[in-house]
Amino acid sequence: MGMIGFVGLGRMGRPMASNLSRKGFRLAVHDINRDAVAELELLQAKGVASVAEASRDSEIVVTMLPNSAVVADIVSGADGILNNAKPGTLIMDMSTVSPETTDALAANAKEKGMAFVDAPVGRLAAHADRGESLFMVGATPKDFDRVKPLLEAMGNTIYHCGPVGTGTRTKLVNNLLAVASCQLNAEALALSQRFGLDLERTLDVLYGTTAVNGQLKVNWPAKVLKGDTAPGFAIDLAHKDLSLIIEAANAARVPMPMVAAAREAFSAARASGFGGQDFSAMVDALCASAGIEKPRLKS
């Protein structure tokens, strides 16, 4: 395979690009954070100064960026991928964006004689570190085959969800449950703390019933319940995703009352200064507002 452009070396993009480089892919990497680029250069990636430079000689350009507006600018802006890459180039966006953004960029790419794949990422930053990400892919069968070797180098679970746009839409459905469940978990554990219940025993009970969920059983014991609220996935980003979900659901005329309530809880957490913390820290935000001791495992 030829050169791979990679734009966006944040908390998720950096380990994914690192895994590609370690597994023999030739990368041209770009990010506004020069330190992140320098880390990839130590892994033999080529650091470049612009999106245009990352695009010109690459047969596939990967984007991993924070929101719809940034993705649209990087792909379709004056100095973006579509105005600098060659016809036949494939663009794979791995960001979490609105379905309208994905659909528009795919149409723009087609007009330029380029292919477009949406492949947002499931699981957490720690999984990306280990090369254990999950990918939800929207692509033609031909384009899916083109990107599959990259996805296999960055993760261990790949779902071809259907044509372009289905990856993005599947990600929103996934994040609806993953993010909103954090608010339910926060309320449940805050109540258990107020009741004076033993946290370990309460979790044992919850893990043994249908009340259990992946956040409570897998993520929370490794993050907030052991006192680690460094952002694997920040409350700010979770709030952004809930907003995307509500907007997409409104466009599809599907009411989202519980998601709307969860978003406002995340809004309150951001207003209280918790936006940069891991989304499991929703329980800390709630406990702080109610004057309840934070739940922490003893060991």
- The CATH number that applies at residue 78 is 3.40.50.720
Token pair in block for residue 177:
């449950």
Distance CA 269, CA 278 (A): 11
- The answer to the question of residue 296 being in a domain is no
Catalytic one among 171, 223, 240, 294?
171
Note whether 142 and 180 are same-domain residues.
Answer: no
Note whether 109 and 186 are same-domain residues.
Answer: no
Distance CA 178, CA 259 (A): 11
- The answer to the question of residue 34 being in a domain is yes
Q: Which of 121, 146, 163 is the last residue of a domain?
A: 163
Note whether 241 and 198 are same-domain residues.
Answer: yes
Averaged over successive runs of 10 residues, the pLDDT of the chain (299 residues) comes to 95 96 97 96 96 96 96 95 97 97 98 98 91 97 98 98 98 96 98 98 97 95 96 94 97 97 98 98 98 94
The structural domain count of the chain equals 2
Given this model, what pLDDT does residue 124 score?
Answer: 84
Note whether 129 and 197 are same-domain residues.
Answer: no
Per-residue pLDDT tens digits for 159-203 = 999 999 999 999 999 999 999 999 999 999 999 999 999 999 999
Note whether 209 and 143 are same-domain residues.
Answer: no
Any bridge partners for residue 61, and if so which?
Answer: 5, 91
Per the annotation, the verdict on 226 as an active-site residue is: no
Given this model, what pLDDT does residue 178 score?
Answer: 95
Among residues 55, 52, 53, 26, the alpha carbon closest in space to that of 41 is found at: 26
Burial classification of residue 227, based on how many CB atoms lie within 10 Å of its CB (0-12 exposed, 13-18 middle, 19 or more buried):
exposed
Note whether 238 and 175 are same-domain residues.
Answer: yes
Distance CA 78, CA 5 (A): 18
- The answer to the question of residue 221 being in a domain is yes
Note whether 29 and 131 are same-domain residues.
Answer: yes
Burial classification of residue 257, based on how many CB atoms lie within 10 Å of its CB (0-12 exposed, 13-18 middle, 19 or more buried):
exposed
Note whether 108 and 243 are same-domain residues.
Answer: no
- The answer to the question of residue 299 being in a domain is no
Given this model, what pLDDT does residue 125 score?
Answer: 87
CB of 39 closer than 8 Å to CB of 18: yes
Q: What is the CATH number of the domain that holds 194?
A: 1.10.1040.10
Which residues are CB-neighbours of 123 under 8 A, at least 6 positions away?
Answer: 132, 133, 134, 155
Given this model, what pLDDT does residue 49 score?
Answer: 95
Note whether 36 and 130 are same-domain residues.
Answer: yes
Given this model, what pLDDT does residue 136 score?
Answer: 98
Note whether 144 and 205 are same-domain residues.
Answer: no
Distance CA 259, CA 253 (A): 14
Distance CA 3, CA 199 (A): 51
Given this model, what pLDDT does residue 1 score?
Answer: 78
Number of Cβ atoms within 10 Å of the Cβ of 108:
18
- The answer to the question of residue 284 being in a domain is yes
- The answer to the question of residue 195 being in a domain is yes
Note whether 193 and 88 are same-domain residues.
Answer: no
Domain limits for position 259: 169-290
The predicted model scores a pTM of: 0.93
Handedness of CA 95, 148, 136, 122 (dihedral sign): negative
Note whether 154 and 23 are same-domain residues.
Answer: yes
